[in-house]
Amino acid sequence: MRTRPPEPSPSLPSTSPTAAFVAAWRGPLHILVDNAGVMAIPERRTAEGWEMQFATNHLGHFALTLGLHDALAVGSAPERHSRVVVVSSVGHVNGGIRWHDVNFEHDPYDAWQAYSQSKTANVLFAVEAARRWASDGIDVNALNPGRIWSTGLSRHMSDPPAAFGAASSDGVSEKDIPQGAATSVLLAASPLVEGVIGRYFEDAQEAGPHAEALRRGVADYARDPADAARLWELSQTLLDTAPLPRG
């Protein structure tokens, strides 16, 4: 029986949908897929003042997953761990965390820098959660689902294939929705990855280091354990000190 103290949850306004969902959850949880996302949107901010891509793609998942930690721990068993699957993107290779200005409060907003930062945050979150929760029987990993234009994620782009070099100029082809979901399903349900933690997958297999010649693999800065711990503390602080949204 695991005796680790409960994971402290971020302090969220009681009106937050995330807080309401966590408060309403009952019983064990076996699989959590953090898959909400926006991409390259015009500059927008949450009621708390956070840049919208960082807030949606990372902070929301961070708050939800921490809030459900105890349910995930209860849902784990020696023969089958609970799973947390964090959906990132190959876009993380375009840039790391902007530690000096994560919410673009000082620098001019750049939609792609903001997206890349949020996707790097996804991988770093998986790295640190995996480290913290390994003894709880919670397997946490991140993944790149691939290019899937049919989901609506690219609705803020005028010509998504052209923006990324069509289908194969950089060695990456478009996927349909089932193909794009395959790696998430592997990490959520397959016994082949039981006990595997803190890794980054693509094309239903663990990815290697990022190579500049192709948009594949995981960037070194996205798996840095010191940055993963630093992002965890920053995220906790942002959520704990968030002002109440004004009505």
Q: What are the phi and psi torsion angles at 40 (to 5°)?
A: 50, 45
Q: Is residue 190 part of a domain?
A: yes
Per-residue CA distances from 240 to 29, 59, 104, 153 (Å):
25, 12, 20, 29
* 115 in catalytic set: yes
Q: How far apart are CA 214 and CA 32, in angstroms?
A: 30
Count the domains in the chain. Answer: 1
Active-site residue, from 109, 115, 200, 221 = 115
If phi > 0 it is left, if psi is from -120 to 50 it is alpha, else beta; for residue 146 that is left
Q: Is residue 123 part of a domain?
A: yes
Strand bridging mode 138-144 / 31-34: unpaired
Q: How far apart are CA 189 and CA 4, in angstroms?
A: 25
Q: Is residue 187 part of a domain?
A: yes
Domain region containing 138: 27-240
CATH of the domain at 206: 3.40.50.720
Strand bridging mode 138-144 / 205-206: unpaired
Q: What is the pLDDT along the chain (247 residues), one digit of tens a residue?
A: 454 556 666 655 555 888 899 999 999 999 999 999 999 999 999 999 999 999 999 999 999 999 999 999 999 998 899 999 999 999 999 999 999 999 999 999 999 999 999 999 999 999 999 999 999 999 999 999 988 765 666 555 655 554 444 444 455 678 888 898 999 999 999 999 999 999 999 999 999 999 877 788 999 999 999 999 999 999 999 999 876 543 3
